[in-house]
Structure 1
């Protein structure tokens, strides 16, 4: 978080603003993209590739670590998806939340992680350009 001095705040508040449609559309797009970036952690796409990719072969410890990262992503999606996706994707989010709450036995962990990854991909797809 950045601190703003009184002088800088006064200068920023005294600037003229634009209310034309093009500027507002650009601003809304930028705000939505910024919000989505807060939900999509830095290496989410790498983790999805590691789970679903052609050469996916994860060790049990990797499955556990990625599952925790996916749970964090699911929590973030619960907070931002209502602001980014209209109408709210109730069924898709419910599925994601259920998968996030599951903690399968080690024998079932990789299959669960793949289902979890697919549910995350569905949400990212619904978020559209804001998530990329």
Structure 2
């Protein structure tokens, strides 16, 4: 057990809390950004870079299928995220519908790389156009 000597204890400063619109907006933005960060991870950006970056789509079919599987697994999570962030009850944006459509496709082996590039571009559209600053 540790004893605290009165002379060593520093009183905590009392901070005022504010609930003005500017502060509430900052808090709301921060919470929404954290919600997005839980879904849009560095690993996802790494996969997008490996598919859409300067070096082009991965060459091995095994890698293509692995990344496509990760994209497929994140699609419903992205859908849920956009639904949660949508305050007006509007339908899913077209970009998200494209991601969901591509996630349901099972391309032939010869089309897998091209489909992965389309899939990656669709996810990037969602990150840029729909989530915008929240995904930065």
TM over 0.5: yes
Displacement after TM superposition at 1:16 (Å): 6.9
> CA, structure 1 residues 82+57, in 2 after alignment: closer, same or farther (shift >3 Å)?
closer
Displacement after TM superposition at 1:88 (Å): 4.8
Out of 87, 109, 114, the residue aligned to residue 106 of structure 1 is 109
1:74 to 2:75 alignment: yes
Deviations 1:79-128 (A, max 9, x none): 01123357554322211101001111111100000000000011001201
Count matched residues.
118
Measure, in 2, the Cα distance between the counterparts of 1:41 and 1:75: 15
Paired position in structure 2 for 1:45: 45
Gaps of 5+ in 1: 1-14
Is the CA contact 2:75–2:99 (under 8 Å) kept in the aligned structure 1? yes
TM-score of the pair, normalised by structure 2: 0.78
Measure, in 2, the Cα distance between the counterparts of 1:44 and 1:105: 24
TM-score of the pair, normalised by structure 1: 0.80
Does the residue aligned with 2:106 lie in a helix, a strand or coil? coil
Does the residue aligned with 1:24 lie in a helix, a strand or coil? helix
Q: Where in structure 1 do 4 or more consecutive aligned residues deviate above 6 Å?
A: none
Paired position in structure 1 for 2:131: 127
Is the CA contact 1:84–1:127 (under 8 Å) kept in the aligned structure 2? no
Measure, in 2, the Cα distance between the counterparts of 1:79 and 1:116: 18
Note the aligned Cα RMSD (angstroms).
Answer: 1.9
Measure, in 2, the Cα distance between the counterparts of 1:88 and 1:131: 20
Displacement after TM superposition at 1:63 (Å): 0.3
Displacement after TM superposition at 1:54 (Å): 1.4
